[in-house]
Amino acid sequence: MALTSREVKQLCGRFSYERGQAALQGGQVILHRVEQPDVGDETKLAYSATVQSSQRYDVVVELSGQGRVPDVNASCTCPSLASYSQLCSHIAAVLLAIVELTKSGTVPQPQEEKNAASAAVPRPAQGKPLDEKLLSLFLPEAPTLGARAASYGEERPLLEIEYVCRPLPYGIPEPEWLIGVELNVGSGKRHPVADIREFLKRCERGERYAFARGAEFDPARHALSPRDDEIVRLLARISSHERTALAAAPVIQTRVKSGSSERTLPIPPVYWESLQPLLAAAEHARLATEHSGEGKLAVSDRPVPLRFELGEAEDGEYALRAAGLDRLLVLKAYGLAIADGELCRIPAAECRQLAELKKLLGDEHGSGSAGSGERLPISAARIGAFVEHAAPGLMRLGTVVIDPVLSEKLTRRPLRAKLFLDRVRDRLLAGLEFHYGDIVVHPLEADERRHRSDRILIREGEKEQAILRIMNAGGFYKTEGGYVMADEDAEYEFLYHKLPELEKLAQVYATTAVKLRLHSGPSPVVVTVQTEERMDWLEFRFDLDGIRDSELKEIVKALQEKRKYYRLPEGTLLSLESPSFLEVMRLLDEAAIRKNEWYNSRARVPLSRALLLTGALDREKSDAVRFAKSVRKLLENMRNPDHLDHEVPESLSPILRDYQKYGYQWMKTLAHYRFGGILADEMGLGKTLQSIAYLVSELPGIRASAQPALIVCPASLVYNWLSELRRFAPEVRAAVVDGAEADRTAVWRSVERRAAAEAAPDVLITSYPLLRKDIRRLRPLAFHTLLLDEAQNVKNEATQTAKAVKSLAAPRRFALTGTPIENRLAELWSICDAVFPELFGDKNRFFELPPGEVSRRIRPFLLRRRKNDVLRDLPDKLESDRLSELLPEQKKLYVAYLAELRAEAVKHLKDKDHRPNRIRILAGLTRLRQLICHPALFVEGYKGGSAKLEQLLELIDEGLASGRRILVFSQFTTMLDLIGKELVYRGLPYFRLDGETPPADRVEMSERFNAGELSLFLVSLKAGGTGLNLTGADTVILYDLWWNPAVEAQAADRAHRIGQRKVVQVIRMVARGTIEERMTELQRRKLDLIDEVLEPGAGESLAALTEEELQELLRHD
Whether the pTM exceeds 0.85: the reply is: no
pLDDT score recorded for residue 176: 78
The whole-angstrom separation of Cα 858 and Cα 221 is 79
Q: Residue type for 324, please?
A: G
Among 951, 997, 953, smallest CA distance to 973 is for: 997
pLDDT score recorded for residue 729: 94
| DSSP secondary structure letters along 333-402 | GGTEEEETTEEEE--HHHHHHHHHHHHHHS-TTS-SSGGGT-EEEE-HHHHHHIIIIIHHHHHHHSEEEE
Q: Omega of the bond prior to 173 within 30 degrees of 0, cis?
A: yes
The whole-angstrom separation of Cα 786 and Cα 273 is 73
pLDDT score recorded for residue 256: 41
CA–CA distances in Å: residue 7 to residues 14, 21, 464: 11, 14, 69
Tens-place pLDDT, residues 899-918: 888 887 766 656 655 556 66
Intervals of the chain under pLDDT 50: 83, 107-146, 148, 150-153, 251-260, 363-373, 448-449, 873-874, 1058, 1087-1103, 1117
Q: What are phi and psi of 410, to 5 degrees?
A: -70, 130
pLDDT score recorded for residue 259: 38
* Rounded CA Rg of the chain: 44
pLDDT score recorded for residue 775: 92
pLDDT score recorded for residue 1097: 40
Q: Is 1075 helix (H, G, I), strand (E, B) or coil?
A: helix
Within 26-129, where are the H helices? 89-104, 110-120
The whole-angstrom separation of Cα 333 and Cα 340 is 20
Question: Could you tell me if 655 and 875 are in contact, meaning their C-beta atoms sit under 8 angstroms apart?
Answer: no
Q: What are phi and psi of 565, to 5 degrees?
A: -155, 165
The whole-angstrom separation of Cα 928 and Cα 936 is 12
The whole-angstrom separation of Cα 555 and Cα 574 is 9
The whole-angstrom separation of Cα 342 and Cα 300 is 7
pLDDT score recorded for residue 1100: 43
Instruction: Name residue 604's beta-bridge partners.
Output: 539
Count of C-beta atoms within a 10 Å radius of residue 522? 11
Question: Could you tell me if 854 and 807 are in contact, meaning their C-beta atoms sit under 8 angstroms apart?
Answer: no
Distance from the first to the final alpha carbon of the chain: 68
Within 986-1097, where are the H helices? 999-1010, 1021-1024, 1045-1052, 1075-1092
CA angle 627, 630, 635 (to 5 degrees): 75
| DSSP secondary structure letters along 842-859 | SHHHHHHS-HHHHHHHHG
Among 269, 283, 194, 206, smallest CA distance to 238 is for: 269
The whole-angstrom separation of Cα 409 and Cα 455 is 5
- What is the DSSP code (8-state) at residue 118? H
Q: In whole angstroms, what separates CA 585 from the centre of its chain?
A: 33
Helix pair 915-933, 888-908: axis angle to 10 deg: 170
Superfamily of chain region 878-1113:
P-loop containing nucleotide triphosphate hydrolases (3.40.50.300)
Q: Is 918 helix (H, G, I), strand (E, B) or coil?
A: helix
The CATH code that applies to domain 640-873 is 3.40.50.10810
pLDDT score recorded for residue 912: 54
pLDDT score recorded for residue 1002: 75
